[in-house]
């Protein structure tokens, strides 16, 4: 291989010092093998650039598959229909238990079961609490939650427990949540 | 790169009007930066985000009295690092060349030309796959018009190493593509 072969690419890129560049240029003019190398390296450079031009063009022109908007529209329509018909399929929560039983149920809570639905009751009238400033027009659920499940250790004095009053709307959504000690 | 006349957002508008030199830099380097980032494998949206961030960083750099030397390589380095930071997809995207797609060939081509063109791209894609990450990045920056010294500043390697890497990469391509 020619001694100048290692400097041809740098000469093509005009990265050689002037005196070296002049030497290489003189040699390339005289050496057929190096002239063919120059042509090959120029073609390789052009091909590299052309390849990425095509790749960028393909990437820019790429559109979503036709089925994506169709599927999205169908999913949206299905969700709307489901929401429209969902309330009819929601069953009323059955009436079961009295509020008075909750405190004793709290006493039975263990640390390994942070939330336990103890009783459910159906109320027509609002729950009589100190801060009952919202009316329960719909069936309500009371859930006893141990204090250590909600607050860091030591944040709540011992023996204090909370009852969560949950109000469920006709559409199945939670209408109100109130914690009371 | 056509169809990417991104209007200047408010921060860049202020940046552009603050100095003619900054405006010139933006106009001169925005497209090469986008081209480089897309060729690395980023989507156009990601590339535009990174370019915007790079020019905002430049604005802060200049406003705080930072050096104005080698701004070109500075911008490419910021963009390159921004692209690298997207680690979750970097290896997947940057490791292999992008697929040019079969719709890249002209509709006027004859069937023989189509076959030859597809074969040429296949060999070229395979040859590019065989380049190392460093070789690919050096060639991409070189095709963006950067000098070896600037490429070295972007990639954090000596200028002599850039020269050797470019030389090796071009020879590999020439050999694998039978050019």
How high is the pLDDT of residue B19?
61
CB-based contact B37:B79 (threshold 8 Å): yes
How high is the pLDDT of residue A126?
45
Q: Quick one: how many helices (H) and strands (E) in chain B?
A: 9, 0
How high is the pLDDT of residue A65?
52
Instruction: Return the exposure string of B154-164: e unless at least 16 CB atoms fall within 10 Å of the residue's CB, then b.
Output: bbebeeeebbb
Contact state of A9 with B121 under an 8 Å Cβ cutoff: no
How high is the pLDDT of residue B6?
43
**A58 closest CB neighbour out of B44, B103, B140:** B103
How high is the pLDDT of residue B147?
95
Contacts of B68 (CB under 8 A, 6+ apart): B62
Q: How far apart are the first and last CA of chain A?
A: 91
Spans of chain A, pLDDT less than 50:
63, 90, 95, 97-116, 118, 120-136
Provide the residue count of chain B: 179
The 10s digit of each residue's pLDDT in B130-140 is 999 999 999 99
CB-based contact B23:B63 (threshold 8 Å): no
Distance from CA of A26 to the nearest CA of B (A): 20
The 10s digit of each residue's pLDDT in B119-167 is 888 888 889 989 999 999 999 999 989 999 999 999 999 999 999 999 9
How high is the pLDDT of residue A87?
61
Does the global pTM surpass 0.80? Answer: no
**Confidence tier at B11 by pLDDT (50, 70, 90):** very low
**Is A2 in CB contact (< 8 Å) with chain B?**
no
Of B5, B112, B173, B43, whose CA–CA distance to A37 is shortest? Answer: B173
Best B173, B175, B176, B178 member to test A by mutation, with max A CBs in 10 Å, is B173
Chain A positions touching B3 (Cβ under 8 A) are 60
Contact state of B148 with A13 under an 8 Å Cβ cutoff: yes
**Is A62 in CB contact (< 8 Å) with chain B?**
yes
The 10s digit of each residue's pLDDT in B58-95 is 888 888 888 878 888 999 999 999 988 875 555 555 54
Chain A positions touching B170 (Cβ under 8 A) are 9, 41, 44-45
Contact state of A44 with B167 under an 8 Å Cβ cutoff: no
Q: Which two tokens stand for residue A37?
A: 């190398």
Q: How many CB pairs under 8 A join A and B?
A: 84
DSSP calls for chain A: --TTGGGHHHHHTT-S-HHHHHHHHHHHHH-HHHHHHHHHHHHHHHHHHHHHHHHHHHHHH----THHHHHHHHHHHHHHHHHHHHHHHPPPPPP---GGGHHHHHHT--TT-S-EEEEEE--SSPP--TT--S---S-EEEEEE-HHHHS-TTSS-TT--EEEEEEE-TTS-EEEEEEE-
Q: Is B14 exposed, middle or buried (CB count within 10 Å of its CB: 0-12, 13-18, 19+)?
A: exposed
Cα distance between residue B47 and residue B82, in whole Å: 9
For A146, A148, B163, the CA distances from A179, given in Å and listed in that order, are: 12, 14, 72
């Amino acid at each position: 291989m020619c001694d100048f072969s290692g400097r041809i690419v740098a000469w093509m890129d005009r990265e050689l010092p002037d005196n070296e560049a002049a030497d290489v240029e003189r040699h390339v003019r005289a050496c057929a093998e190096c002239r063919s190398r120059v042509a090959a390296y120029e073609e390789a450079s052009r091909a590299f650039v052309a390849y990425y031009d095509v790749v960028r063009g393909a990437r820019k022109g790429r559109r979503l598959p036709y089925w994506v908007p169709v599927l999205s529209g169908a999913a949206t329509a299905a969700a709307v229909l489901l929401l429209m018909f969902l309330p009819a399929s929601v069953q009323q929560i059955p009436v079961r238990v009295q509020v008075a039983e909750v405190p004793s149920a709290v006493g039975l809570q263990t640390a390994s079961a942070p939330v336990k639905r103890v009783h459910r009751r159906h109320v027509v009238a609002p729950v009589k609490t100190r801060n009952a400033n919202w009316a329960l027009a719909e069936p309500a659920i009371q859930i006893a939650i141990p204090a250590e499940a909600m607050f860091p250790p030591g944040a709540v004095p011992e023996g204090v427990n909370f009852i969560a009053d949950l109000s469920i709307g006709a559409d199945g959504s939670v209408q109100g949540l109130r914690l009371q000690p | 790169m056509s169809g990417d006349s991104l209007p200047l957002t408010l921060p860049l508008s202020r940046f552009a009007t603050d100095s003619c030199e900054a405006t010139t830099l933006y106009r001169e380097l925005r497209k090469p930066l986008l081209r480089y980032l897309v060729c690395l494998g980023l989507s156009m949206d990601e590339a535009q985000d990174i370019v915007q961030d790079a020019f905002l960083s430049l604005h802060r750099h200049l406003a705080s009295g930072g050096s104005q030397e080698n701004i070109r390589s500075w911008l490419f380095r910021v963009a390159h690092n921004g692209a690298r930071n997207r680690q979750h997809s970097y290896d997947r995207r940057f490791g292999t060349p992008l697929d040019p797609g079969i719709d890249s060939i002209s509709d006027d081509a004859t069937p023989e030309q189509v076959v030859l063109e597809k074969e040429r791209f296949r060999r070229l894609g395979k040859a590019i796959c065989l380049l190392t990450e460093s070789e690919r990045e050096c060639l991409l920056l070189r095709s963006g018009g950067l000098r070896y010294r600037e490429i070295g500043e972007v990639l954090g390697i000596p200028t002599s190493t850039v020269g050797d890497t470019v030389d090796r990469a071009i020879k590999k391509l020439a050999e694998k593509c039978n050019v």
